[in-house]
Amino acid sequence: MASMPTLPTACPLDCPDACSLAATVEDGRLVRLDGDHRNPLTDGFICAKVRSFASHLDGPERLLHPAVRTGKKGEGRFREASWDEALDLVATRLGEARRAHGGESILPVSYGGSNGLLSEGATDARLFHRLGASRLLRALCVAPSTSAHLGLYGRMPGVPLTAYRHAKLIVVWGFNPSASGIHLIPIVKAARAGGAKLVVVDPRRTPMAQQADLHLALRPGTDLCVALALISWLFESGRADLPFLAEHTTGAEALRERARAWSMERAAAEAGVPVADLERFATLYADTRPAVIRCGWGLERNRNGGSAVAAILALPAVAGCFGVAGGGFTLSNSQVIRLDGDAAAAAPPPSTREININQVGRALLEADPAVRVLFSYNCNPLATLPDQTRVQQGLAREDLFTVVFEQSMTDTARWADVLLPATTFLEHDDLTRGYGAMVAHRIRPVLPAMGEARPNWMVFEALCDRLGLREPSDPRGPDAMVDAILEATEDGRAVAKALREDGIALPPVGAEPVQLRDVWPRHEDRRIHLCPPELDAEAPAGLYGYQPDPGRPDQPLALISPATRHTLSSTFGQRWREPAVLLLHPTDAASRGIASGDAVRVWNELGTVECLVDVSDEVRPGVAVLPKGLWSRHTRNGFTANALVPDRLTDLGGGATFNDARVQVARA
Ligand SMILES: Nc1nc2c(c(=O)[nH]1)N[C@H]1C(S)=C(S)[C@@H](COP(=O)(O)OP(=O)(O)OC[C@H]3O[C@@H](n4cnc5c(=O)[nH]c(N)nc54)[C@H](O)[C@@H]3O)O[C@H]1N2
Ligand SMILES: Nc1nc2c(c(=O)[nH]1)N[C@H]1C(S)=C(S)[C@@H](COP(=O)(O)OP(=O)(O)OC[C@H]3O[C@@H](n4cnc5c(=O)[nH]c(N)nc54)[C@H](O)[C@@H]3O)O[C@H]1N2
Ligand SMILES: [Mo]
């Protein structure tokens, strides 16, 4: 049988790998979605979540028509409306709120969704900036890491994941590729076949940790202690690369001074790991070249997250790992191809108040002037933001008008006053970049929009028009917006032709740039700033200052909520049928008389979650795991890990402290 022709597209979901895809479409229906080989990292294979995208596309929860609430708030009862009626209503309420209470009474909330430059920060920014709405500090994820990366390296591109094949030591630190970026797995495997050693730093025995030569199962939030102990050991044992530090860095002495407090013994005690393991890690790191660190995101989600990432990123500088293929670090590669997304918005941000996305619950209940209109898009706030109880209390306010622009009937959507149906990436245009894979994709629709769903750019453009906020110089429509973005930067101009012709572009610096050979710290002096004053001023305990565990005797367990392969954040949660399971170590279970399969209560002062338990030594003692991305249907009482997550912020960047939840557990 002749194979059916495929259409090229790419996955814009919030994952580092940015798969290039081939869609088989017949009579306007998706027959098959698979990887293609244009992206050298993803090279033809994709995750199960996106392979089965068809069930997200037209599953029972897909929103197909605009709708207006008929039942009580949160009941999820709606009647269908025309786009004209829905947009008129939204525009009227936005206009009224601005007139009566000022633009700041409008709060747009957006985050992961489709990570494209047309879906986010484009016509949406045009609308909300011109309304003078409250600005959202989008610090839900990667904020502390970005602060550290920016402060030390000016966001220098990382080691390409494909170049890990050259490494002889791979350190996977707070990253779980089995869920969050599967394409690293075969590369690590190939490097190991060539003799590379593998170290994994993670409170859980992840599938990658199972294969590791060394697994440091530290307590959550203690990465800073471990990294500083390694730094101090490198300096004090004469293994630091002093000539490199003198030539390419500033602040090395200050870093050395701050690290001195962390002996191997002290760090091992704080992290709850054997000293011998720390010493083995240090020796491997000092002796093996090329050595690369894959710094993930799990370690940033606590009070020490920013300093921890900074200390980890300082390691390759102190040990002298740069300048060779497969040596250095990888954090986010989103800035490898520099594009100016704002060019599509053509609207500078106003100087209105800023609300941290991690404190939306608090803002809905307490902000002055009060939030009157909440506009949620590319986000499922009730499922994914900290302090779920307060987010829900906020959504329940009778005097709040809530617009939810969504693909699916999410937990948040059920609280909407108006629902607007959004297209998926198979149905709309976009321009995206990977933050692991070093590629940009121009996405074009491969399917007609389902039902009456519309792309973000179109809906926000229509609202701008209705509110009289359109300006003649606005780039209109996807092609004009993409052109504006590509023309605004040197990198954009360099990759424009490839994007237009092939739908994919590799970075202008080449596919596999080497750190401190081909790419340099993006500071004016091209040096690594190991102790940047701005970070020092921001961190409550100073940069590299450790803040102790927030646990209390009545909340002795650290609850972490990492990614799983079933969902992408909460996207696809509607397809995950099994009830949520809390992972607990046998010691912690035994002392509470808990066995696998029991129903348990997990609680702290912020809330309670009722779910099932699985007893397993996959997680270290003192730590409980309940995945991120759950929907209310997955637990017995409708609350998820986020109900236990404080809305306190990380030391740098105002980030979320998801893994600083401290809880007690008992049989239900
Ligand atoms: N399938 C799937 N893929 C995804 C996502 C998803 O939800 N599902 N999410 C996407 C998004 S938005 C992001 S940001 C990335 C996240 O990708 P990851 O970097 O993998 O982030 P997490 O899953 O939060 O945590 C990674 C690991 O850190 C560990 N961890 C938790 N606390 C600590 C700590 O204090 N120290 C250390 N060393 N480790 C710790 C966790 O046990 C976990 O194994 O993945 C993206 N890809
Ligand atoms: N407990 C806990 N919670 C966490 C985390 C954790 O580690 N622990 N991790 C956090 C992290 S890393 C992240 S990044 C956040 C992500 O949090 P969110 O940004 O809320 O991400 P999703 O849950 O994927 O929700 C995105 C929504 O956008 C919709 N969407 C997708 N594309 C479009 C589009 O083009 N237009 C419109 N209008 N809608 C679209 C999807 O249907 C989906 O419902 O979650 C955070 N939440
Ligand atoms: Mo994220």
- Per-residue pLDDT averaged across 495-499, rounded? 97
Residue whose Cα lies nearest atom 6 of ligand 1: it is: 568
435 lines ligand 1 (CB under 6 A): no
**Cα distance between residue 126 and residue 659, in whole Å:** 35
| DSSP per-residue letters across 136-201 | EE--SSSHHHHHHHHHHHSS-----GGGGGG-SEEEEES--HHHH-TTHHHHHHHHHHTT-EEEEE
Which H or E element spans position 259?
A: helix 252-259
Q: Residue 2 C-alpha to ligand 2 middle, in angstroms?
A: 39
CB 385 within 8 A of CB 358: yes
User: Which ligand is closest in space to the CA of residue 119?
Assistant: 2
Q: What is the pLDDT of residues 527-548, one digit of tens each?
A: 999 999 999 999 999 999 999 9
The token duo for 137 is 């500090």
231: which DSSP letter?
Answer: H
Ligand nearest to the CA of 115: 2
Decide if pLDDT at 2 tops 70. no
Question: Are the CB atoms for 212 and 189 separated by under 8 Å?
Answer: no
Phi, psi for 276 (deg, rounded to 5): -60, -35
Residue 389 phi, psi (nearest 5): -60, -45
Torsion of CA 394, 397, 403, 408, to 10 degrees: 70
- Helix, strand, coil percentages, rounded to 5, for the chain: 35, 20, 45
How many whole angstroms from 180 Cα to the centroid of ligand 3?
10
- In short, whether 657's Cβ falls inside 6 Å of ligand 2 is no
Phi then psi for residue 512, to 5 deg, are -135, 65
How many Å is the maximal CA-CA distance in the chain? Answer: 72
Burial of 575 (0-12, 13-18, 19+ CB in 10 A): middle
Kindly state the DSSP code that residue 571 receives in the 8-state scheme.
B
Task: Give 301-354 pLDDT, tens digit per residue.
Answer: 999 999 999 999 999 999 999 999 999 999 999 999 999 999 999 999 999 999
Q: How far is the CA of 412 from the centre of ligand 2 (A)?
A: 11
Tell me the CA–centroid distance for residue 16 and ligand 3, in Å.
Answer: 9
Q: Does the CB atom of residue 408 touch ligand 2 within 6 A?
A: yes
Ligand 1 atom closest to Cα of 141? 14
For the chain, domains (ranges, CATH) are: 6-57 (2.20.25), 67-140+344-505 (3.40.50.740), 159-330+514-538 (3.40.228.10), 557-667 (2.40.40.20)
Tens digit of each residue's pLDDT (9 = 90 or more) over 267-301: 999 999 999 999 999 999 999 999 999 999 999 99
**Residue corresponding to tokens 């599953």:** 59
Q: Whose CA is nearest to atom 25 of ligand 1?
A: 298
| Phi and psi torsions of 107, nearest 5° | -125, 110
CB 658 near ligand 2, within 6 Å: yes
For ligand 1, whether the C-beta of 221 sits within 6 Å is yes
pLDDT of 594-606, one tens digit each?
Answer: 999 999 999 999 9
603 vs 661: CA distance, rounded Å: 10
pLDDT over 70 for what percent of the chain?
Answer: 100
pLDDT of residue 1: 47
Which residues have CB under 8 Å from 124's CB, separation 6+? 108, 110, 345, 377, 456, 460
E strand map for 346-502: 354-356, 373-377, 401-406, 418-421, 430-433, 440-443
Over residues 10-17, mean pLDDT: 96
Q: 573 is written with which tokens?
A: 């949660």
Report the distance separating Cα 649 and Cα 651, nearest Å. Answer: 7
Q: How far apart are CA 207 and CA 411, in angstroms?
A: 31
Mean pLDDT over 396-415 rounds to: 98
Q: Which atom of ligand 2 is nearest to the CA of 410?
A: 44
Q: Which ligand is nearest to the CA of 19?
A: 1
Residue 371 CA to residue 364 CA, distance in Å, equals 6
Residue nearest to atom 45 of ligand 1 (CA): 180
3-state secondary structure 305-331: HHHHHHHHHHHHHHHCCCCCCCCEEEC
Q: In angstroms, rounded to a whole number, what is the distance separating the alpha carbons of residues 563 and 171?
A: 19
pLDDT tens digits along 19-29: 999 999 999 99
Nearest residue (by CA) to ligand 1, atom 4, is 180
406 within ligand 2 shell (Cβ under 6 A): yes
Q: Whose CA is nearest to atom 35 of ligand 1?
A: 220
Q: Residue 215: is its pLDDT beyond 90?
A: yes
Query: Is 201 a pocket residue for ligand 1 (Cβ < 6 Å)?
Result: yes
361 lines ligand 2 (CB under 6 A): no
H helices, E strands: number in the chain:
23, 27
Q: Does the CB atom of residue 567 touch ligand 2 within 6 A?
A: no
Q: Is the CB of 288 under 6 A from ligand 2?
A: no
Residue 642: is its pLDDT beyond 60? yes
Residue 345 CA to ligand 3 centre (angstroms): 23
Per-residue pLDDT reduced to its tens digit, 224-235: 999 999 999 999
Q: What is the rounded distance in angstroms from the CA atom of residue 375 to the CA atom of residue 90?
A: 9
- Residues around ion ligand 3, judged by CB within 5 A, are 141
Check residue 4 and give its pLDDT: 78
Phi, then psi, of 133 in degrees rounded to 5: -70, 165
Which ligand has the nearest atom to the CA of 14? 1
Given a cut of 70, whether residue 178 has pLDDT beyond it is yes
For ligand 2, is residue 301 a contact (CB within 6 Å)? yes
Distance 15 CA to ligand 1 centre (A): 10
pTM over 0.95: yes
CA-only gyration radius of the chain, Å:
24
Ligand 3 center from residue 142 Cα (angstroms): 7
Contact 63, 57 (CB under 8 A): no
